[in-house]
Amino acid sequence: MRAVEMTSFWARMNPEQPAIFQSDMALTFGDVTQAVDAICERIERYNLAKSEIVAVAIPHPARQLMVCLALMRCGFAVAPISQGALFYVRQAGINTVIHAGQGLMTAGGRNIQYEDSWLRRDDKLSGAAARVGPRVASDSELMFVTLGAAGAVKKLIVSQRAIADRVKALPVTGETNFERTLIVPDLSSPSGFLPALMQLCAGRTACFAPDHDAQLLLIETFEIEAISAPSQEIQGLLETVEKRRAYQCDSLKEIRVGPSSPELVRRVQSRLCRNVTLDYGGPEAGLIASGNYDVIAGVPNAVGFVMPGVNVEIIDEAGVRLPIGTTGVVRARSAYSANVSAASNADKGSGLDQAWWYPGDRGHLTENGILCIEARAGR
């Protein structure tokens, strides 16, 4: 079952179940499915080529997410991007952008302006979505476009098979354990878009707010239960909380954050939420290791237990696997990383080694499967 079909399933099961909470918008699964249906009709009128990759640059998470879901339902490869990425999407082979009117793509491309009327069905267009023809096997891919260190455009492609791998792993990873999770990263990145998509696939509620003050208001208003955010965003949220001496947050049950300093975790436990889970992974690899901070705190440099279904190895500079407890170069692979690698590196051969994720970090494994990172890449 594709991701879009999962959201439709939850709409059929319980249309009034909340799907998206945002500072200015609250949508049920029924609302989202109806909007996606309407957007499909609008998209079909543009007669986009079957091989199109369509970028979506809408600085409003709920709207961007629904347009992307509609494109995925129609079978297009979709690239969620930020407004700032418009100038280099052509380098990634993308010629069509759906935008919200704040800036257009460079000359020579096709610019389609999104309007809120897309969210409502138009009787003149009714039935248009049903005319969408069959797609090739690689349909509905997600493409994330970034600039590499040397200024070259990098493309990360997440196929439907890779998305299915993420969904299957949810009972183990615990990423959707709670009904309402605040997703902090921008939806133009895999670390923002994929967790939001996983929430909807699991029948949960994805929550968004544009800044730290709005996030705190959203947490209070909708009794948000969990936050998924990088450590720098948690740092900013904490600074906002600490300016409000009387602030109390009673609804939060978990904070999921990347590798963090003990000092930051202690501040989180003191002012936001006692339950802190550290996550280690990357866009190319998914979640590699995870652990409750109180459980792994006694192990120096621990970032979590290696996830079931993930193979982590510590190797030397020659690629030779090192024994437990020995420090070396970290690499990891999983079904998700193998599928992402196969799609992203399709033009670079199909060597098995490409399925390994090399974050550039150095660390070791303990006897009981805890991954410890002693030196982070670039630090």
* In the chain, domain spans: 3-160, 163-375
**Extended beta strands in 135-275, E state:** 142-147, 153-158, 180-183, 205-208, 226-229, 254-257
| Same topology between domain 3-160 and domain 163-375 | yes
> What's the rounded mean pLDDT across residues 317-331?
96
- Average pLDDT for residues 366-371, to the nearest whole number? 97
Label residue 318 exposed, middle or buried (CB < 10 Å: 0-12, 13-18, 19+).
exposed
| pLDDT recorded at residue 134 | 43
Q: Residue 182 — very low, low, confident or very high, per pLDDT cuts 50/70/90? A: very high
Query: At residue 128, does pLDDT exceed 80?
Result: no
Q: For residue 187, is pLDDT > 80?
A: yes
Paired residues of 26 in beta bridges: 21
What percent of the chain has pLDDT above 70?
90
Please tell me what DSSP assigns to residue 58: -
Query: Which pLDDT does position 131 carry in this prediction?
Result: 46
* Cβ atoms of residues 203 and 16 within 8 Å: no
Q: What CATH code would you report for 3-160?
A: 3.40.50.980
Q: H or E element: which one contains 26?
A: strand 25-28
Average pLDDT over residues 110-117: 92
CA distance 340 to 336: 6
Mean pLDDT taken over the chain: 89
Q: Is the pLDDT of residue 314 over 70?
A: yes
Q: Residue 351 — pLDDT band, cuts 50, 70, 90?
A: very low
- Give CA–CA dist 76/336, Å, rounded: 21
The answer to whether residue 154 scores a pLDDT higher than 70 is yes
Instruction: State the pairing for strand pair 370-375/362-365.
Output: antiparallel
| Confidence bin at 129 (pLDDT 50/70/90) | very low
Q: Given this model, what pLDDT does residue 23 score? A: 87
Mean pLDDT of 7-22: 96
What pLDDT is attached to residue 164? 92
Q: Are 4 and 69 in contact (CB under 8 A)?
A: yes
14-23, 295-304, 335-344: which range is least confident on average? 335-344
Residue position matching structure tokens 């009972």: 171
Per-residue pLDDT band for 133 (boundaries 50, 70, 90) equals very low
Q: Which residue, 235, 224, 131, is CA-closest to 181?
A: 224
pLDDT of residue 283: 87
pLDDT at 379: 59
DSSP code, position 51:
T
Produce one character per residue of 267-285: b if its CB has 16 or more CB atoms within 10 Å, e if not: bbeeebbebbbbbbbbbbb
Q: How confident is the model at residue 36 (pLDDT cuts 50, 70, 90)?
A: very high
CATH number of 163-375: 3.40.50.12780
User: Tens digit of pLDDT for each residue in 44-91?
Assistant: 899 888 788 999 999 899 999 999 999 999 989 999 998 778 778 888
